[in-house]
Amino acid sequence: MPAATPPEVDDVDRAIVAALVADGRTSFTDLGRQVGLPTSTVHQRVRRLEQRGVLKGYTAVVDHEALGLPLSAIVSVTPFDPAAPDDVPERLARVAEVESCWSVAGEESYVLLVRTATPGRLEEVLAEIRTTGSVATRTTVILSTPFEGRPPSRS
């Protein structure tokens, strides 16, 4: 059985998605102005994008420094025992400082985004990750974020 093809997303849909990525609180009226369509048409298109799962939700953009979490790190994890059940995400879900967990291909099994207040706290969190997850870690501290959350490309 051939793989199902995803529903077509045209250039107007992409422009709507890009505008919502830039500002998820943009009104339908402003979206209409940006993409050159009536408000009612934009509203229908956004609803269809939501129903088709292209738009999965709307989030707030957080200034982590203002929240007292200025230190961010990418932590790659590799299970000590590759034959053990793969329940690393479930075990690490309770570590509050782990903001994101991605399953990846390559030497590591997962990559985590960790945010903490201090280098000392990062060290404690890494020890907790290793113990709780039964994993080895490799850590890269993020110095700055020139950009993130860009709208998807056309290709």
> pLDDT tens digit string along 86-120?
999 999 999 999 999 999 999 999 999 999 999 99
Provide the CA 16 distance to its chain's centre, in angstroms. 19
pLDDT of residue 16: 94
Give the range among 44-48, 87-91, 138-142, 145-149 with minimum mean pLDDT. Answer: 145-149
Closest CA to 115 of 58, 65, 59: 65
Task: Give mean pLDDT, residues 109-135.
Answer: 97
pLDDT band at 153 (very low <50, low <70, confident <90, very high): confident
Q: φ, ψ for residue 63 (rounded to 5)?
A: -90, 100
**Mean pLDDT, all residues of the chain:** 92
CA distance 148 to 140: 17
Give the range among 28-32, 60-64, 134-138 with minimum mean pLDDT. Answer: 60-64
pLDDT of residue 155: 56
- Whether residue 1 has pLDDT greater than 60: no
Name 49's Cβ contacts closer than 8 Å, sequence gap at least 6.
Answer: 9, 13, 16, 17, 55
pLDDT of residue 41: 96
- Whether residue 2 has pLDDT greater than 70: no
pLDDT band at 6 (very low <50, low <70, confident <90, very high): low
Contact 74, 113 (CB under 8 A): yes
Give the range among 4-13, 24-33, 58-67, 84-93 with minimum mean pLDDT. Answer: 4-13
Q: Which two tokens stand for residue 29?
A: 């009226």
Q: How far is CA 88 from CA 13, 40, 79, 94, 143, in A?
A: 37, 45, 8, 11, 27
The whole-model pTM stands at 0.80
